[in-house]
């Protein structure tokens, strides 16, 4: 509106007057009393203005914080934001003597909390979450009830002893307070744990707990609040019984009219949104294009991040409100003490119980993090502000205490949790420096265990998961996913879970052609990526060689200093070795699934690792397949024949297949069992020799002078491309003449194949008699290949 | 219970398998179910292909070696007892197992046998020692591609040196065991659900 430009110099306090229609004199530039060219239309623009201002301040604050990386790595952002809020509140108060803009529960629950929770649900690592669901539920339900009960009762006990002075509180009030202060807050937890890198199991437990305990909190809160509003004497036994019932109702999304209940809280909003996010992530991703998916991700992150910022700032501002400030030393201090102590006790007890049933044990350091990481935050604050001042006489006391608690946990605990964790980790590994062997073999054991788990099928867990995915595939996906997405999903699943050798062959062929597998063909070639991973290594080598040179020259060398030098070099080498191992050992499956992070999206480390291992494994399987089929002689010959340049040359030539006769005895290719039995023990893969993996496939004939990779240029092998039935005749496809076009354009535009993006490759028929799943998997929907590559598509 | 025993009855020689491996009846039934699920063509045994079908193994650095461990002595098929025999190594160690009758053979899931299983994954030529070359091969499998060959050789050298006591440049099973004496192998190589 016209007044907008003029409003800026006005005091923030004036802007923030919620009900205000009047204009602060502080910035009025009113014109003459006559014709007013420019007028203040404050009420007109108030809401959007305020919102815009908030967003502006929040963004500036964020940028400002991240300017100094050191600061943010020590102080959690949430703490900084609260402090900023305090400062702003101070300004407002100084200007106006009233801080009239506070965090209202409706704003909080309707606008600010949902984006955060939705974001969390959307990015929740499902497998991890559901895998630890039992633990999470235990902590969320039992833990919260325990915390609430013990805190409330203890406070009551202290009150009875008179330490708190004269307050108008009853037992129920204390219980009510206990219930709202007991809940661990997801926003605060997320904000702080982002900085602290704990292992994923720990993270998911704390985070999951913070999300799920909302249901418990809401029920307890409602129950006690309704009891309080009834008046303590009127509570009957029946009401106590109804409470647990209402828990289930609330968590399943219902409304329970026990007594008067704030409608917006009876449905556990957080739970609902969380599960919405969790469930819909799969379908959203499947149904929309890649770009839209990225957009969705970024948007969510942005909204969540913004909401979080605003929440913490509000918390700060709301604190500066002298009207509500009531201080009772005993109450505040004891609350702090009790929540910490009882949480720790609760965690220890529950962990002891859980460890008897869990596969992965929770160690003491985990328990420390669990107890210490139970942060309270805005949820508690919102709930306390919601209290009815009439029924709860000491509402102000509660509010003040809650603020203090929230500030304490977020700022103090948030600040100290990281150093604490680091100190503990150091302490734990201090008394034993793991030796090289232990590191290496330990990691090997992890891999072995993963593999055996996969082989043995994770009985029990898998049953449920299978049932769910079956249900999902049959019903949910039909409804919720686009047709084409379903199809490709099926194909991907089929392929990934049933890696056939022929797919592997084609895949590796494709990869080889594109050069992406070059690096593993032979580590000793100069294709090998030679990353200078630490400057130290080069200095180490330099000094070793220098040392050797010194030795050789043997001119006035002090033997002792030499020995010292050698020893120190050895230590450096030791360090380097350990460091290399630490950094480059592949992580076992349990470890590398990345964490949820508010501010970052999908690191691709695990994808890269998957891809590397996948390449290698497929290559090796190919080689062993090859040696099984043709015996070693053919092997060596093929290896010698294979040269990358030749392949390149041939790739560009247009008639690769001319030489290949078609009367190849097809029986050679059958993957029938009895053929496989011909070979003896698989020889250990020999990297230096077996570089010609693909060569074999074309070199099926006695005449190994053929040119394999070009043959595989056949568009028949393009992903997503189907094979014409006619070509499925007895002759292996790559041998069929005529199909000579090189699909290089498509290949170039295509992203490298990885297990995740693996598309169904055409089933080149190795044998007409092959009795395997190649045939069944390809339904009638597959189209004949295009004659030209241009018509192929991704 | 009736249905369960009928399941158990489907498994041939279930009693001898149970004695040999120490698995409970319930576990054996479940494993048999899994065995049948893996055996796509209902051949009654598993081939390498069947195990290779498990997608997750393809992204496990030691996946193929572990598959190989199911086919000892160059066989091409593994039947159910063989399948279970390998898995038995990963049974958690229970306390009753430790005070065994010394005459009975060591249970498959003893610490020693667990370590032996791992040892055999490294020692491909079955000469009872992990040579430097074999260590290098394992390292290659387990390490990302950014590591250069010299670094790998370096690491392999040191690893062997660290464990090698008699100076023969290779790690025997005894040396292997000794180098891992501080590690909680029993926990690291056990799957709780396999009881």
Mutate to test the interface with A, among B51, B59, B162 (most CBs of A within 10 A): B59
Residue A462 has a pLDDT of 54
Angle at B163 between CA A574 and CA B157, to 5 degrees: 50
- pLDDT bin (cut points 50, 70, 90) of residue B119 is very high
Q: Which residue of chain B is at minimal alpha-carbon distance from A673?
A: B47
Torsions phi, psi of B46, nearest 5? -110, 140
Rounded-to-integer distance, Cα B162 and Cα A436, Å: 8
List b or e across A468-479, with b for residues whose CB sees 16 or more CB atoms inside 10 angstroms: eeeebeeeebee
Per-residue pLDDT reduced to its tens digit, A742-785: 434 444 444 444 444 444 444 333 344 433 433 333 334 333 43
Given a cut of 60, is residue A537 above it in pLDDT?
no
Report CB contact under 8 Å: A456, B87. yes
Instruction: Give chain A's mean pLDDT.
Output: 62
Position A769 in a domain = no
Q: Which of A361, A447, A755 sits opposite B61 (nearest CB)?
A: A447
Per-residue pLDDT reduced to its tens digit, A356-383: 877 667 778 788 888 888 888 888 888 8
Q: Which of B41, B117, B147 sits opposite A584 (nearest CB)?
A: B147
- pLDDT bin (cut points 50, 70, 90) of residue A514 is low
Q: Which residue of chain B is at minimal alpha-carbon distance from A438?
A: B180
Position A650 in a domain = no
Given a cut of 70, is residue B160 above it in pLDDT?
yes
All domains in chain B, ordered by first residue: 12-89 (1.10.238.10), 107-184 (1.10.238.10)
Min Cα–Cα distance to chain B from A498, Å: 4
Q: Which residue of chain B is at minimal alpha-carbon distance from A618?
A: B58
Residue A57 has a pLDDT of 80
Position A134 in a domain = yes
Residue of higher predicted confidence among B43 and A492: B43
Min Cα–Cα distance to chain B from A436, Å: 6
- Helical packing angle, A290-319 and A77-96, nearest 10°: 50
Given a cut of 70, is residue B73 above it in pLDDT?
yes
Helical residues (DSSP H) of A97-199, grouped into ranges? 105-107, 113-122, 126-131, 133-137, 144-160, 171-182, 186-193
Per-residue pLDDT reduced to its tens digit, A545-557: 333 333 333 333 3
Min Cα–Cα distance to chain A from B188, Å: 7
Q: What percent of chain A has pLDDT over 90?
A: 1
Alpha-carbon separation of residue B126 from A255, A612, B62, B97, B121 (angstroms): 68, 28, 17, 28, 10
Residue of higher predicted confidence among A49 and A733: A49
- pLDDT bin (cut points 50, 70, 90) of residue A201 is confident
Residue B122 has a pLDDT of 92
Residue range(s) defining the domain that contains residue A386: 102-267+325-424
Cα A721 to chain centroid distance, Å, stands at 33
Is A432 touching B (CB cutoff 8 A)? yes
Mutate to test the interface with A, among B31, B41, B147 (most CBs of A within 10 A): B147
Q: Is the dihedral of CA A706, A707, A708, A712 positive or negative?
A: negative
Min Cα–Cα distance to chain A from B102, Å: 28
Q: Quickly count: other Cβ atoms within 10 Å of residue A163's Cβ.
A: 13
Angle at A486 between CA A484 and CA A488, to 5 degrees: 70
Min Cα–Cα distance to chain B from A428, Å: 15
- A435 CB neighbours in chain B (<8 A) are 162, 179
Residue A102 has a pLDDT of 64
Residues A152, A175 contacting (CB under 8 angstroms): yes
Residue A72 has a pLDDT of 67
Rounded-to-integer distance, Cα A655 and Cα A658, Å: 6
Give the 3-state secondary structure of residue B172. strand
- B140 CB neighbours in chain A (<8 A) are 523, 687
Highest mean pLDDT: which range of A7-16, A235-244, A309-318, B161-170: B161-170
Min Cα–Cα distance to chain A from B129, Å: 15
Given a cut of 60, is residue A287 above it in pLDDT?
yes
Per-residue pLDDT reduced to its tens digit, B12-39: 788 888 888 888 888 888 888 888 888 8
Position A616 in a domain = no
- A621 CB neighbours in chain B (<8 A) are 52, 64
Rounded-to-integer distance, Cα A611 and Cα A201, Å: 24
Residue of higher predicted confidence among A173 and A593: A173
Angle at A32 between CA A29 and CA A33, to 5 degrees: 115
> Rounded mean pLDDT of A179-203?
77
Rounded-to-integer distance, Cα A662 and Cα B46, Å: 34
Is A471 touching B (CB cutoff 8 A)? no
Given a cut of 50, is residue A324 above it in pLDDT?
yes
Torsions phi, psi of A77, nearest 5? -60, -35
SS3 track for A648-696: HHHHHCCCCCCCCCCCCCHHHHCCCHHHHCCCCCCCCCCCCCCCCCCHH
Min Cα–Cα distance to chain A from B20, Å: 18
Count residue pairs from A and B with Cβ separation < 8 A: 201
Ramachandran category for residue B13: left, alpha or beta (phi over 0 → left; psi -120 to 50 → alpha) = left
Q: Which of B53, B63, B189 sits opposite A498 (nearest CB)?
A: B53
Given a cut of 60, is residue B186 above it in pLDDT?
yes
Q: Structure tokens of B147?
A: 């590591």
Rounded-to-integer distance, Cα A325 and Cα A728, Å: 82
Alpha-carbon separation of residue A695 from A518, A635, A642, A692, A709 (angstroms): 14, 9, 6, 5, 7
Of the candidate ranges A172-176, A560-564, A727-731, the one whose mean pLDDT is the lowest: A727-731
Is B69 touching A (CB cutoff 8 A)? no
Position A363 in a domain = yes
Mutate to test the interface with A, among B51, B79, B136, B146 (most CBs of A within 10 A): B146
Position A218 in a domain = yes
Residue A191 has a pLDDT of 75
Based on the structure, what is the number of domains in chain A?
Answer: 1
Given a cut of 80, is residue A713 above it in pLDDT?
no
Report CB contact under 8 Å: A580, B147. yes
- A499 CB neighbours in chain B (<8 A) are 52-53, 55, 58
Rounded-to-integer distance, Cα A149 and Cα A157, Å: 12
Q: Which residue of chain B is at minimal alpha-carbon distance from A537?
A: B151
Residue A282 has a pLDDT of 74
Q: Which of B56, B118, B162 sits opposite A444 (nearest CB)?
A: B118
Cα A637 to chain centroid distance, Å, stands at 48
> Rounded mean pLDDT of B136-140?
88
Ramachandran category for residue A688: left, alpha or beta (phi over 0 → left; psi -120 to 50 → alpha) = alpha
Residue A263 has a pLDDT of 35
Position A534 in a domain = no
Min Cα–Cα distance to chain A from B104, Å: 26
Per-residue pLDDT reduced to its tens digit, A555-596: 333 444 444 444 545 566 666 677 777 777 777 765 544 445
- In B119-158, the residues whose Cβ lies within 8 Å of chain A are 121, 124-125, 137-149, 151-152, 154-155, 158
Residue A788 has a pLDDT of 40
H or E stretch at A548: helix A535-553
Is A498 touching B (CB cutoff 8 A)? yes
Given a cut of 60, is residue A448 above it in pLDDT?
yes
Report CB contact under 8 Å: A448, B66. yes
Per-residue pLDDT reduced to its tens digit, A608-648: 777 788 888 888 777 777 776 665 444 444 445 444 444 44
- B73 CB neighbours in chain A (<8 A) are 681
Whole-prediction pTM value? 0.54
Q: Structure tokens of A551?
A: 């030795």
Closest CA to B83 of B8, B126, B3, B27: B27
Let me know if B95 is exposed, middle or buried by CB neighbors in 10 A (0-12, 13-18, 19+).
exposed
> Looking at the predicted complex, does its ipTM rise above 0.90?
yes
Position A416 in a domain = yes
H or E stretch at B136: helix B132-142
Let me know if A31 is exposed, middle or buried by CB neighbors in 10 A (0-12, 13-18, 19+).
exposed
Residue A408 has a pLDDT of 87
What is the distance between the terminal CA atoms of chain B, rounded to a whole angstrom? 19
Q: Which residue has the tokens 């430790």?
A: B98
Residue A421 has a pLDDT of 79
């Amino acid at each position: 509106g016209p007044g907008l430009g003029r409003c800026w110099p006005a005091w923030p306090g004036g802007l923030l007057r919620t009900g205000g229609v009047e204009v602060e004199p502080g910035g009025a530039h009113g014109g003459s009393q006559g014709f007013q060219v420019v007028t203040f239309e404050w009420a007109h623009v108030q809401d959007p203005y305020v919102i815009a201002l908030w967003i502006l301040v929040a963004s500036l604050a964020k940028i400002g914080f991240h300017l100094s990386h050191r600061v943010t790595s020590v102080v959690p952002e949430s703490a900084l934001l609260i402090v900023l809020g305090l400062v702003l509140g101070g300004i407002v108060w100084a200007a106006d003597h009233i801080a009239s803009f506070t965090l209202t529960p409706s704003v909080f629950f309707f606008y600010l909390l949902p984006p955060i929770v939705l974001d969390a649900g959307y990015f929740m690592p499902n497998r991890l979450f559901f895998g630890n669901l039992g633990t999470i539920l235990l902590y969320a339900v039992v833990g919260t009830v325990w915390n609430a009960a013990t805190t409330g009762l203890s406070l009551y006990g202290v009150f009875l002893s008179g330490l708190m002075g004269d307050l108008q509180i009853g037992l129920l009030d204390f219980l009510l307070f206990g219930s709202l202060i007991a809940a661990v807050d997801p926003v605060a937890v997320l904000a702080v744990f982002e900085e602290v890198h704990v292992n994923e199991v720990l993270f998911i437990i704390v985070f999951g707990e913070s999300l799920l305990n909302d249901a418990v909190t809401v029920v307890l809160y409602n129950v006690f609040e309704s009891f309080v509003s009834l008046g303590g004497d009127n509570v009957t036994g029946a009401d106590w019984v109804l409470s647990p019932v209402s828990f289930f109702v609330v968590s399943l999304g219902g409304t329970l009219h026990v007594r008067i209940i704030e409608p917006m809280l009876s449905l556990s909003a957080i739970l609902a949104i969380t599960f919405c996010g969790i469930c819909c992530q799969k379908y959203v991703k499947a149904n929309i294009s890649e770009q839209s998916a990225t957009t969705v991700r970024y948007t969510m992150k942005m909204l969540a991040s913004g909401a979080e910022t605003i929440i913490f700032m509000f918390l700060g501002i709301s604190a500066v409100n002298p009207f509500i400030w009531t201080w009772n030393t005993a109450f505040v201090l004891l609350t702090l003490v009790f929540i910490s102590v009882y949480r720790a006790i609760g965690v220890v007890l529950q962990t002891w119980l859980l460890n008897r049933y869990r596969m992965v044990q929770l160690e003491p350091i985990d328990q420390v993090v669990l107890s210490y990481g139970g942060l309270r935050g805005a949820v508690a604050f919102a709930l306390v502000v919601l209290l009815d001042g009439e029924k709860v006489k000491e509402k102000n006391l509660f509010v003040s205490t809650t603020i203090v608690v929230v500030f304490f946990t977020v700022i103090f605990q948030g600040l100290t949790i990281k150093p604490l964790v680091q100190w503990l980790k150091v302490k734990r590994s201090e008394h034993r420096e793991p030796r090289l062997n232990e590191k290496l073999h330990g990691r090997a054991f992890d891999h072995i265990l993963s593999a055996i788990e996969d082989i043995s099928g994770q009985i029990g867990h898998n049953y449920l998961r299978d049932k769910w995915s079956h249900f999902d595939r049959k019903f949910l996906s039909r409804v919720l996913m686009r047709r084409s997405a379903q199809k490709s999903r099926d194909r991907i699943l089929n392929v990934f879970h049933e890696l056939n050798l022929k797919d592997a062959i084609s895949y590796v062929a494709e990869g080889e052609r594109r050069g992406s597998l070059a690096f593993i063909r032979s580590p000793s070639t100069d294709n090998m990526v030679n990353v200078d991973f630490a400057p130290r290594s080069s200095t180490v080598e330099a000094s070793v060689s220098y040392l050797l040179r010194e030795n050789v020259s043997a001119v006035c060398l002090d033997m002792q200093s030499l020995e010292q030098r050698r020893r120190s070099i050895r230590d450096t080498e030791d360090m380097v070795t350990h460091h290399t191992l630490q950094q480059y050992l592949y992580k076992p499956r349990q470890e590398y699934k990345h964490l949820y992070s508010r501010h970052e999206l999908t690191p691709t480390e695990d994808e890269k690792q998957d891809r590397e291992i996948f390449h290698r494994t497929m290559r090796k399987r190919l080689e062993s397949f090859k040696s099984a089929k043709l015996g070693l002689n053919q092997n060596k010959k093929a290896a010698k024949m294979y040269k990358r340049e030749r392949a390149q040359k041939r790739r560009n030539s247009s008639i690769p297949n001319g030489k290949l006769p078609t009367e190849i005895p097809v029986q050679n290719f059958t993957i029938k069992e009895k053929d496989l039995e011909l070979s003896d023990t698989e020889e250990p893969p020999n990297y230096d020799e077996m570089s010609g993996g693909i060569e074999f496939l074309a070199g099926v004939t006695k005449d190994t002078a053929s040119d394999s990779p070009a043959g595989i240029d056949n568009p028949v092998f393009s992903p997503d491309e189907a094979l014409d039935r006619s070509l499925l005749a007895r002759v292996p496809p790559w041998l069929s003449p005529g199909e000579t076009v090189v699909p290089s354009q498509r290949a170039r535009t295509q992203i490298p194949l990885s297990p995740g993006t693996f598309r169904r490759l055409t089933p080149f028929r190795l044998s007409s008699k092959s009795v395997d799943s190649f045939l069944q998997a390809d339904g009638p929907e597959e189209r004949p290949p295009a004659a030209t590559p241009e018509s192929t598509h991704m | 219970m009736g249905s369960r025993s009928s399941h158990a009855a489907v498994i041939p020689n279930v009693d001898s398998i149970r004695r040999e491996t120490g698995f409970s009846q319930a576990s054996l039934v479940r494993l048999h179910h899994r065995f049948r699920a893996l055996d796509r063509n209902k051949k009654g045994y598993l081939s390498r292909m069947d195990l290779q079908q498990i997608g997750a193994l393809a992204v496990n650095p030691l996946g193929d070696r572990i598959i190989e461990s199911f086919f000892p002595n160059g066989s091409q098929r593994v039947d159910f007892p063989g399948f279970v025999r390998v898995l038995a190594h990963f049974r958690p160690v229970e306390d009753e197992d430790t005070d065994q009758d010394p005459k009975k053979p060591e249970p498959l899931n003893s610490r020693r046998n667990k370590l032996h299983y791992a040892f055999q994954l490294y020692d491909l030529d079955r000469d009872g020692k992990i040579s430097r070359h074999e260590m290098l091969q394992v390292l290659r499998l387990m390490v990302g591609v950014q590591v250069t060959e010299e670094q790998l050789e370096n690491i392999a050298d040191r690893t062997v040196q660290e464990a090698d006591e008699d100076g023969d440049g290779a790690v025997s099973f005894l040396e292997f065991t000794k180098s891992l004496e501080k590690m909680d192998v029993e926990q690291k190589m056990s799957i709780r659900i396999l009881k």
